[in-house]
Amino acid sequence: MSVSRRRRDYWDGVYADSREETVSWFQTNPEPSLAMIDAAGADTDSSVIDIGGGASRVVDHLIGRGFHDLSVLDVSGRALERARMRLGRAARSVSWITADVTGWKPHRRYDIWHDRAAFHFLTEQADRLAYFACVKAAIARGGHVILATFAEDGPLSCSGLPVMRYSPEALSGQLGLGFELRAFQSDMHETPGGARQSFQFSLFQRVRD
């Protein structure tokens, strides 16, 4: 079985067994993500892709703000179906992409790449290199990348899987010289179960191809 299929089956299983509002990453109001999108200078004409968006509420809030060029990518089709059902008719205005980002080939460019808590599950260097190759194919010069991961003092695992922890500087080193760090913030996320998880949100701009 391929790595992508194993990931798909694992996350489909998570969403089959758990209600959306009980998973550890759930947020009713994804304020840190929205603040970083604002910091990128986004307006309602900006194209935004939410990587690993699953059943996240980021897309709901962007639709509510009037954004109309929105895409959500997740390896779990079950997670995306939950989001579509929640949004109802509004889901028709979103491009839903079921794919493993490490094997996905973007067919267009986006203004903003947003990823909250997907990248830090990539513990193999080959997967991280494939991820950043995808970023560079999807974001043109002047575009922005938002990477939110567990911070250096964050958890060592999530949803039964090991994770990586990052500082903004470590992420900057992985993205390479074509990207500059524009802003960052810390966030202490409280899970539905009451646990506290230390996150960092970093905003990068692509300055060179």
Residue 197 is assigned to a structural domain of this protein: yes
Domain count, the chain: 1
Q: Which helix (H) or strand (E) holds 4?
A: helix 3-17
State the residue range of the domain holding 88: 3-20+30-206
Position 10: which residue type? Answer: Y
Residues 6+ apart with CB under 8 A from 137: 105, 106
Per-10-residue mean pLDDT for the chain, 209 residues long?
A: 82 78 76 97 98 92 98 95 95 97 96 97 96 97 98 94 97 95 96 89 96
pLDDT, position 175:
95
**Looking at residue 150, which CATH number applies to its domain?**
3.40.50.150
Residue 198 is assigned to a structural domain of this protein: yes
Give the global pTM: 0.94
Query: b vs e for 160-169, b when ≥16 Cβ sit within 10 Å of the residue's Cβ?
Result: eeebbbbebe
CA distance 65 to 72: 16
Using an 8 Å Cβ cutoff, are 205 and 182 in contact? yes
Residue 25 is assigned to a structural domain of this protein: no
CA distance 118 to 163: 10
**DSSP secondary structure letters along 16-73:** HHS-GGGSTT--SS-HHHHHHHHHTT--TT-EEEEET-TT-SHHHHHHHHT--EEEEE
pLDDT, position 25:
67
Largest Cα span, the chain: 44
